[in-house]
């Protein structure tokens, strides 16, 4: 699937799913055409999907193949969200070996680990409600875009979003702030905007562009991580997601 999925500067779902161009123009849903009321940027891992099984297995393989001690189960959870090279460095991998572990990780992840993943119950209902209210929805993830696109396709997320933005599949430095910068390029700077994410990287990356972040507690953040990073609110359950977005964006 990944080989046949279009990945350019960003992936925009083809007509028949979403016809928005990802830049704040009009969008058609059935017989209704409207301009987005606001933009909601959505993190993927730990926010829309529970991707821990595939990520933890791939990380475990990378450490084992390199002859390094495998992180504990609790430490493995911290790999969900941040850029992969950053996580390897944070867990003691020597800088000169990071590329080796990234390559080993991706071999297992691309072979099937990326699909050991599931959408959180209630998330698609929340996205459907936000689309009904006229929001433009865009995935902004630190996961390489070449993986994020087929994952969203496989898990049924693509029909609900106007674009999928991710990191490059190479060792070019990337961050959540850079992904969000790409997602915002060409959009109306006066539109209402909100990030939704489960880690401090989402909060800080959005803040770099003056965008507030709604935190979700069902992901992989450490206790108080989201609050300390500056999330404007944190919700505990997926059925609280759409109402919180509506309130924060005054929809």
Place of tokens 């189960």: 73
Please say whether the dihedral angle defined by the alpha carbons of residues 169, 175, 176 and 181, taken in this order, is positive or negative: negative
Contact of 56 with 79, CB cutoff 8 Å: yes
- Ramachandran angles phi, psi of 211, nearest 5°: -105, 125
CA distances from 240 to 117, 162, 244, 245 (A): 22, 22, 6, 9
**Coil, helix or strand for 39?**
strand
Determine how many CB atoms are found less than 10 A away from the CB of residue 152: 25
The yes-or-no answer on residue 21 being catalytic is no
68 vs 63: CA distance, rounded Å = 5
Which residues, including other chains, have CB under 8 Å from residue 70's CB and lie 6 or more apart? 59, 60, 63, 64
H/E stretch holding 140: strand 136-144
Q: List the one residue out of 101, 120, 113 whose CA is nearest residue 54.
A: 113
Q: Out of 21, 29, 31, 43, pick the active-site residue.
A: 43
64 vs 186: CA distance, rounded Å = 44
Catalytic residues: 43
């Amino acid at each position: 699937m990944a080989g046949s999925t279009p990945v350019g500067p960003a992936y925009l779902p083809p007509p028949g799913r979403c016809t928005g161009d990802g830049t704040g123009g009009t969008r058609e849903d059935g017989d209704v055409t409207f301009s987005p009321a606001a933009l909601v940027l959505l993190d993927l891992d730990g926010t829309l999907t529970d991707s821990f099984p595939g990520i933890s297995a791939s990380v475990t393989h990378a450490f084992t193949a390199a002859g390094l001690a495998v992180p504990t189960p609790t430490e493995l959870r911290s790999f969900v969200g941040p850029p992969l090279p950053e996580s390897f460095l944070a867990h003691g991998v020597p800088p000169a070996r990071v590329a080796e572990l990234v390559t080993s990780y991706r071999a297992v992840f691309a072979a099937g680990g990326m699909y050991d993943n599931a959408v959180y119950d209630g998330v698609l209902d929340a996205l459907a409600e936000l689309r009904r209210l006229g929001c433009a929805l865009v995935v902004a993830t630190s996961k390489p875009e070449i993986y994020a696109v087929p994952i969203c396709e496989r898990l049924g997320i693509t029909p609900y979003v106007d674009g999928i933005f991710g990191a490059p599949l190479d060792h070019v430095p990337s961050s959540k702030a850079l992904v969000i910068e790409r997602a915002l390029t060409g959009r109306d700077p006066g539109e209402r905007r909100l990030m939704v994410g489960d880690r401090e990287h989402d909060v800080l990356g959005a803040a770099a562009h003056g965008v507030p972040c709604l935190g979700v507690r069902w992901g992989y953040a450490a206790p108080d991580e989201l609050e300390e990073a500056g999330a404007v609110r944190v919700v505990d359950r997926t059925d609280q997601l759409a109402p919180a977005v509506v309130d924060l964006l005054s929809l």
